Structure 1
């Protein structure tokens, strides 16, 4: 069965193809080529009518998208290396390694965490369709650490509601460029798609959503700072964008730091360190902690000496 995605358009008049490219790339990791193919194959309706890519969306337009099922992910389980630190009948807590993409997308259907989950776990929630079974939220390819996976649809629905209401505490550790003078701070700056580089997000007032990141300093070095971050919102690349915005980008970030950071094989030094929330079914408070990878300690030893 095809996957169906719906949106109510709530912004200034925008071309359909531009709007869907931004939405489907950020939310589903679809390629621009695949999104274009979906639109040109008459799989998109606005207010129940098939429209052309150049259609100008108006406020409150109802968009319906039929995503063709190219193949079943049941045929793509793979033995992927990752650690499960907690499992019950409703949820999993994954400790994701560096370099692992969370879910497949058209043109990239293998080598992801989802492929590994399908290999190891019999039942996953179906709410997010065949590309993202069980995936409640995601972290970037080169971000390490904790991630929640839902095994049942009820658990998934409850977790999504908890995320939207900021009832899941998510704490990250990051090694950043520069010395942060303040012991703590709050970044309240809206994030949207970058105007010229579609792979990037940016702090902008245009087609953006509010984003809030709190941080506190763990340790200062001569040219770097180790910090703890807590996000109250879950925008794409939020911590990376916000820290770059205050001129303290994450070390190793290939998109938002400096040119030389692209030479760092590890990728960005950003780790999903702690999760605290009430279990979506039992309502019991649970807490999980993942120690920073050894690569963090190696890097810290390098900059200390």
Structure 2
């Protein structure tokens, strides 16, 4: 992942710089100050992976897939309340979907200020909050609201929005494709059953639609259902945000679009332009034939 033999702007390679730092007077002074001021052993601050594992430290994030997030998603697995984790280190939840397209509506339901308040066991599905929908807003408010519910640890959240590092709980974000890009998350309906399985040991995870409120096979429902009625991008999104979202989508969406591949973007744009030109030509020919 890191070529330490490459030269840096100093003219030295990373290996040379790190060797200098390892044995430098400045480093020793810093280590001594840490011991004297805080009583902390510097070697207890940053641990090699093998030692960290011996002491029971685990990785933080998991990247679940599944029929609701075929391109991927993210959850900070270590932030899930330990009391809802099974003895084998796996978080398992199956609950009723509560679908929202605005964070404010979801928060109102969490606070009991809607006709159908959120209940213990529910899975909040917040859609239309990706790059196309709103510029991919940070949804800390909803995770914060859940944190202070007496039963908040028994509620999960699945969304195409993003989270910051302060979010806690069983919160799966960055779901791809996003709802407005045709992602299956946009085909979930209120009352469907969503299942989450997050293994905090292996960092494997699944987020799936496992049953539907109307009895349709889940796979068939995600294939044939239309995107949630009325779902659309927010009004008054700045033009630069709309353009960024469009280019990201061309580049591969929330996950593939984060790879800045100019050649692939240009190729895709050219292919789309050619397809549009062909369609226009066919339509013109149809008009000529009609006349």
Which has the larger strand fraction?
Answer: 1
Specify the structure having the higher radius of gyration (Cα).
Answer: 2
Q: What is the TM-score with the length of structure 1 in the denominator?
A: 0.24
